[in-house]
Amino acid sequence: MDWGIKNRLSRIIKPATGRTVMLAVDHGYFLGPTHRLEHVGRTVGPLLDYADALMLTRGILRSSIDPETAVPIVLRVSGGSSIIGDDLSNETIMTSMEDAVRLNVAAVALSIFVGSDYEKQTLESLALLVDMGQEYGIPVLAVTAVGKELGKRDARFLSLSCRIAAEFGASFVKTYYCDEFEKVVESCPVPVVIAGGPKLETELDAFKMANDAIQKGAAGVDMGRNIWQNDNPVGMIKGIRAVVHERKQPEEALEIFNQSK
Ligand code: R5P
């Protein structure tokens, strides 16, 4: 791996544990003003000290995040469809690598839609982004999107998507947690992090999901709604950190959550 890519990646996936707690706030790129993300700066401010990286778009970065922040930025560069449009999978690269360099990002992120009508288009975008990333020393995070079909979140589909992302040169991959998640990780030669998905019923459910993912080989989480849609978001991210970096049990994470109320 090139020095620049390795160095940037080590700012996200912490060498001390080999894991990461990324905070995802990029939802607006296709969902618009998501609940609790109406004012991203206000939501994210108290959480920044606990995030190993912040995932968002350039518009929100420039408008809502203090440039003096030390938190590494993972810049979402793909998009082009919305939740009310015809097909969520019709995405392409919407931000240039030059702008990513200007923004001093630690990585760029792009969704691939394997199995969709736009499979080839999104894989071509990934290939192009990896080429540009190699040129500038910037790692690429491939997000294995499922569009509106959440039912596709099984080990067979996610293994296929993660492996294809790695074959195309992604430095790391973000996917969903699923049954037999170890199969997804085992067949993917680059680090895998999990998205949280829609807010789960209880805090313990979220801590358990993070714990199971780590146990089965994940390199961490890139979590959004289960953190900032909670009434105690700082408690949530502290609990998640405890699971990911300190390998605390979900019940211990819940105690940390309750103590931070
Ligand atoms: C997916 O690509 C989205 O843009 C989010 O970054 C991702 O789903 C993680 O957020 P959440 O934990 O809310 O699912």
Ligand 1 atom nearest to 25, measured from its CA: 6
The model's pLDDT over 165-186, given as tens digits with 9 standing for 90+, comes to 999 999 999 999 999 999 999 9
The residues annotated as belonging to the active site are 174
Ligand 1 atom nearest to 199, measured from its CA: 13
**Which residue owns the Cα nearest ligand 1 atom 7?**
195
197 Cβ inside 6 Å of ligand 1:
yes
**Which residue owns the Cα nearest ligand 1 atom 3?**
27
Distance 145 CA to ligand 1 centre (A): 9
Which of 222, 236, 244 to mutate to test ligand 1, by most ligand atoms within 8 A of the CB atom? 222
CA 239 – CA 211 distance, rounded (Å): 11
With a cut of 70, say whether residue 255 has pLDDT above it: yes
224 Cβ inside 6 Å of ligand 1:
yes
Ligand 1 atom nearest to 29, measured from its CA: 4
Distance 256 CA to ligand 1 centre (A): 24
CA 67 – CA 52 distance, rounded (Å): 16
What domains does the chain contain, in order, with CATH numbers? 3-194 (3.20.20.70)
User: Sorting pLDDT into bands at 50, 70 and 90, what band is 148?
Assistant: low
Mean of pLDDT over the chain: 96
Give the residue-averaged pLDDT of 99-110. Answer: 98
The model's pLDDT over 113-129, given as tens digits with 9 standing for 90+, comes to 999 999 999 999 999 99
Distance 133 CA to ligand 1 centre (A): 22
CA 187 – CA 128 distance, rounded (Å): 23
Q: Tell me whether residue 104 is exposed, middle or buried, using C-beta atoms within 10 angstroms of its C-beta: 0 to 12, 13 to 18, 19 or more.
A: exposed
225 Cβ inside 6 Å of ligand 1:
yes
pLDDT of residue 146: 85
CA torsion 107-203-30-81 (nearest 10°) is 90
143 Cβ inside 6 Å of ligand 1:
yes
Which of 209, 225, 227, 244 to mutate to test ligand 1, by most ligand atoms within 8 A of the CB atom? 225
Whole-model pTM? 0.97
User: Sorting pLDDT into bands at 50, 70 and 90, what band is 6?
Assistant: very high
Give the residue-averaged pLDDT of 9-28. Answer: 98
CA 223 – CA 204 distance, rounded (Å): 15
Give one word for 14, left, alpha or beta, with left for phi > 0 and alpha for psi -120 to 50. Answer: beta
Give the residue-averaged pLDDT of 130-158. Answer: 90
The model's pLDDT over 191-221, given as tens digits with 9 standing for 90+, comes to 999 999 999 999 999 999 999 999 999 999 9
Distance 25 CA to ligand 1 centre (A): 7
With a cut of 90, say whether residue 86 has pLDDT above it: no
Distance 227 CA to ligand 1 centre (A): 11
Q: Write the secondary structure of the chain as one string of H (helix), E (strand) and C (coil).
A: CCHHHHHHHHHHCECCCCEEEEEECCCHHHHCCCCCCCCHHHHHHHHHHHCCEEEECHHHHHHHCCCCCCCCEEEECEECCCCCCCCCCCCEECCCHHHHHHCCCCEEEEEECCCCCCHHHHHHHHHHHHHHHHHHCCCEEEEECCCCCHHHCCHHHHHHHHHHHHHCCCCEEEECCCCCHHHHHHCCCCCEEEECCCCCCCHHHHHHHHHHHHHCCCCEEEECHHHHCCCCHHHHHHHHHHHHHHCCCHHHHHHHHHHCC
pLDDT of residue 151: 63
pLDDT of residue 248: 98
pLDDT of residue 153: 85
